[in-house]
Amino acid sequence: MRPIALKRISKPGLIIFTGFILVAVFSGLLSPYDPDARYEPYESPSEKHFLGTNDIGNDIFSELLHSSRVSLTVGLLTALIASGIGLFIGLVSGYFRGAIDEILMTVTDVVLMIPRIPLVIILAVFLRPSYWIIIIVLSLVWWTTTARVVRAKTLQIREMGFIDSAVTMGFSHRHIIFTDILPNVIFVLIPKFMLTVASAMISEASLSFLGLGDPTKKSWGMMIRYAFERGGFIQDMWWWYMAPGAAITLCVVSIVLIGFSLENTEPRISAFSAGRYE
Amino acid sequence: MLSLCLEIKNVEKSFFSGSFRKKKRTVFSDISFGVKKGETVGITGKSGSGKTTLGKIAAGLISPDTGMVLYKGADIHIMKKEIRRQYRTRVQMLFQDPEGALNPMKTIRRQFEEVYKLAGIEGNQSVLKSVGLSEEILSRYPHELSGGQNQRIALAKILLLEPEVIILDEPTSALDISVQAQILHLLRKLQEERTLCYIFISHDPATIQFMCDYEIRLE
Amino acid sequence: MSCLHIRDLSVRFPTAEGFVAAVNNVSFDHIGGETLALIGETGCGKSVIASAIMGLLPMNARISGEILFGGRNLLEADRELLDEIRGRDIAAVFQNPSLALNPIQRIGKQIAEPLIVHSGMPKKEALFAVRKVLLKLGFSDINEHLRAYPFQFSGGMNQRVLIAAAMVMNPKVLIADEPTKGLDMELRDEVMKEILFIKQQNHSSLFLITHDFEMARMTADRIAVMYAGEIVEIARSGDFFQHPLHPYAQALEKSLPSNGFQPIPGNPPSGTEPPPGCKFHPRCPYAEEQCRRENPPILEYNSRKVKCFLYA
């Protein structure tokens, strides 16, 4: 990554987010207990169980750490697929313009009109609730903003003189897109990617809360759902639902911090900084 | 006529603007000319008269509304793939803004390496000498170099493809006077050495007089 | 009649490869009422001088020397004084008109702004004064023009508007930095005529920065030539164009279209590694041992100033 980007990246965001990634990867080592092991249910936080236990006696803290894997995976996969689709469509649309552009943009507009959350709900009703539905549906519907942003940037670069130059020299379209346009587009893609991860995690949490996630592999959203369903709310066991809630919030905030901090990091070229008189 | 490297025949171009593209502005119509080996044709006119557009049509970047662009007698827009590829290699264009014609994010070395690969030749830096550049510019980026140097680099890249025709769109207008003189002399020298055809676009009468064998004026 | 005195002005910029001396010990006077043309090519530092006078250099510039105007050193002036002087006593027109105009404000408002801010004129009065100026300059459809936005006009039109804006306060000094760059021949003549017309009307002095020999010849009273951050020759216009003294000035003249585009050998010097001794010596047909070792001082020669050992 360019040095400028590295300097501007939000340090708090990066530290916290890296922390979450590490937790997700090493959740096995970090958890005091096996999240499926059962102990005395409905226990309040104590020395033995840092965040108490849930309705079937699992240690909540261990559950929390393990759920990070699910939540983060869903968020990242969704963003990856959505960004991949958006990147492709944006590049093709912006580079070839004309009829292809009009068709693709019409498709984009149509997809934008689809109500996402209701769609996921309906699908989940007919199919078995699982995270894959969430990932696939969300990504199939979310590539649109990425496509728009990539297309705008592609159009802008395409107007620059060196593209004309490459065309007259006979470079293939593929070459021009990959070596001339793509490197510049990456700068707008990465912030968008981070923000998509954040949105995906929140959406997943909401959908899991509504019961559409897989109950055998709990995400943070699922944890909150169970907390509400199995009496955690009524019995004022705030540690049960606040912990995953705080985890989601903190993780999303860290991602958003990184995303915003990277937004305008395109390299700016100034004649004063090169060994020239001006 | 096979002695013509490139021929423009009855070419017309208009642009549409306004809502529903109702307003039509005809930039030029019924333009015909050709270039022979070793010859320089000048295209002059005020800014906005369509000189660059005509140049881009000759270079195959824009299609004319009517008329044809002929390379070796064949219409470039309907020619067969192999000849089209030949056209693409042998007919090149040098642009007005030297820095703009180079990708700002690639080093000069990398830009040359791409062209070597495209042309399928071994990369030896001898082309640099023929445009008056030293090897130390290879590690630089375009914005670190002067207009004159960037224009020489653009020219060197084109020369690697062994062109027959070069369309030059105001190649020296953005340069200082002393550099203009250097580049114009370089262009003349290269034309003699390699019997190139030039289509030279400029709004400056003195430059046209210095470089061109005959001129076409657009109103 | 006011004068602008530049004394030993040096401006350096820190870059990744070391300091670049954009302006190196430059001294000259700009006498009230005269047109002084500063000729030089890209990178010689002439625009930096204009920015220095207007106090518009970037924060990382290291400046030394004096810029005296009305008895005060502009380089040491506080923000208040600078704001007063800029726009009112010294006005500037820079190279790129599209960058100087605010795209989301109407043209009329922008031209009238200096009047409103400096003279405290109410908006209506200011616009009236602006209309007068434009009328004097030969603009047509003035009311529509004032209500329009910059993007609706070409660069040339906007440049003329900017000149009007600069003159609206009747400044004592007008700095014009390559005012006709990028304009085609007709527009160039028109713009220069306008600048000169206004200058006469207001009895102001014109500090014209250009690389265009012809324009300098047609408009200037005195000429100064810059190369690699230094002034190498100052002379009266007639004397200069009849016979330039400095080898660089001579070479520049030879490379004009009218003289057959004779190129100057070599390349302009690098900012971070300038040649030792005289900055022009690598390209000079008369270079000698002394030129390689010492940087010549400015020498007097027939009431002209040249920075060259040939005239010692």
Lowest mean pLDDT among B8-12, B200-204, C153-157: C153-157
Report CB contact under 8 Å: A275, B144.
Answer: yes
* pTM over the 0.80 mark: no
Range of A44-58, B61-75, C115-129, C156-170 with top mean pLDDT: B61-75
How high is the mean pLDDT of chain A? Answer: 84
- Give the Å distances, CA to CA, from A266 to A5, A11, A177, A185, A212: 8, 19, 18, 10, 40
Q: What is the pLDDT of residue A277?
A: 32
Q: What is the pLDDT of residue A8?
A: 73
Q: What is the pLDDT of residue A14?
A: 87
C203 against B186, higher pLDDT: B186
pLDDT per residue over C62-77, tens digit each?
999 999 988 888 888 8
What is the mean predicted confidence (pLDDT) over B149-161?
92
Helices marked H in C119-212: 123-136, 142-147, 155-167, 185-202
Residues 6 or more apart whose CB falls under 8 angstroms from that of A30 comprise A23, A65
Q: Is the pLDDT of residue C246 over 80?
A: yes
Picking from C16, C22, C273, the nearest residue to A278 by CB comes out as C22
**How far, in Å, CA of A50 to CA of A194, rounded?**
32
A265 against B137, higher pLDDT: B137
**What number of C-beta contacts closer than 8 Å exist between A and C?**
35
3 state SS of C156: helix
C33 against C186, higher pLDDT: C33
C-chain CB neighbours of A274 within 8 Å are 15-16
Q: What is the pLDDT of residue C2?
A: 63
DSSP structure string for A211-274: T-S-TTS--HHHHHHHHHHTTTTTTT-HHHHHHHHHHHHHHHHHHHHHHHHTTT-PPP--GGGT
Picking from B89, B95, B102, the nearest residue to A170 by CB comes out as B89
A-chain CB neighbours of C45 within 8 Å are 277-278
- Residue identified by tokens 């705008």 is A152
Range of A1-15, B109-123, C103-117 with top mean pLDDT: B109-123
Domain map (residue ranges) of chain C: 4-311
Q: Is the pLDDT of residue B66 over 50?
A: yes
Domains by residue range for chain A, with CATH: 3-21+59-275 (1.10.3720.10)
How high is the mean pLDDT of chain C? Answer: 85
Band (pLDDT 50/70/90 cuts) for residue B206 is confident
pLDDT per residue over C78-100, tens digit each?
888 888 888 788 888 887 666 67
Task: Name the packing angle between helices A60-96 and A238-261 (round to 10°).
Answer: 30
Q: Are strands C304-306 and C299-301 parallel, antiparallel or unpaired?
A: antiparallel
Selection from A276, A147, C62 nearest residue B150 by Cα: A276
Q: What is the pLDDT of residue C54?
A: 85
What is the mean predicted confidence (pLDDT) over B62-88?
87
Q: What is the pLDDT of residue A275?
A: 32
Lowest mean pLDDT among A262-276, B90-104, C158-172, C174-188: A262-276
3 state SS of C253: helix
Band (pLDDT 50/70/90 cuts) for residue A3 is low
Report the share of chain B in percent with pLDDT over 70: 96
- Give the Å distances, CA to CA, from B62 to A181, A199, A226, B56, B90: 21, 43, 64, 6, 17
User: A126 at the C interface (CB within 8 A)?
Assistant: no
Q: Is A29 exposed, middle or buried (0-12, 13-18, 19+ CB in 10 A)?
A: exposed
**What number of C-beta contacts closer than 8 Å exist between A and B?**
59
Selection from C230, C195, C243 nearest residue C28 by Cα: C230
What is the mean predicted confidence (pLDDT) over A158-184?
89
Report CB contact under 8 Å: B60, A168.
Answer: yes
- Give the Å distances, CA to CA, from B213 to A239, B3, B42, B209, C11: 88, 16, 8, 8, 47
Picking from A168, A170, A180, the nearest residue to B103 by CB comes out as A180
Band (pLDDT 50/70/90 cuts) for residue B122 is confident
User: A179 at the B interface (CB within 8 A)?
Assistant: yes
Band (pLDDT 50/70/90 cuts) for residue A176 is very high
Task: State the best of B105, B150, B153 to mutate against chain A, taking most chain A CBs within 10 Å.
Answer: B105
Tally the residues of chain A. 278
What is the mean predicted confidence (pLDDT) over C195-209?
84
Based on its alpha-carbon atoms, the radius of gyration of chain A, rounded to whole angstroms, reads: 23
Chains touching B by CB (3 or more pairs below 8 Å): A, C
Q: What is the pLDDT of residue B2?
A: 54
**How far, in Å, CA of C10 to CA of C56, rounded?**
15
Lowest mean pLDDT among A98-102, B79-83, C161-165: C161-165
Q: Is the pLDDT of residue A7 over 60?
A: yes
Picking from A274, A275, A277, the nearest residue to C44 by CB comes out as A277
Helices marked H in chain C: 46-54, 79-85, 97-100, 107-118, 123-136, 142-147, 155-167, 185-202, 213-219, 237-242, 247-254, 289-293
Selection from B161, B152, B32 nearest residue B87 by Cα: B161
**Nearest residue on chain A to C59, alpha-carbon basis:** A272
Lowest mean pLDDT among B25-34, B45-54, B179-188, B200-209: B45-54
Provide the chain C residues 20-79 that lie in CB contact (below 8 A) with chain B.
41-43
3 state SS of B24: strand
Exposed e or buried b for every residue in A48-66, given b needs 16+ CB within 10 A?
Answer: ebbbbbbeeebbbbbbbbb
The reply to whether ipTM tops 0.90 is: no
Band (pLDDT 50/70/90 cuts) for residue A102 is very high
Neighbours of A18 (CB within 10 A): 12
Q: Are strands C173-177 and C205-210 parallel, antiparallel or unpaired?
A: parallel
| Greatest extent of chain B over all pairs of C-alpha atoms, in Å | 53
**How far, in Å, CA of C233 to CA of C253, rounded?**
14
**How far, in Å, CA of B65 to CA of B11, rounded?**
7
Answer CATH for C4-311 from 3.40.50.720, 2.30.40.10, 3.40.50.300, 3.40.50.1110: 3.40.50.300
**How far, in Å, CA of B1 to CA of B19, rounded?**
44
Lowest mean pLDDT among B188-202, C55-69, C102-116: C102-116
User: C270 at the B interface (CB within 8 A)?
Assistant: no
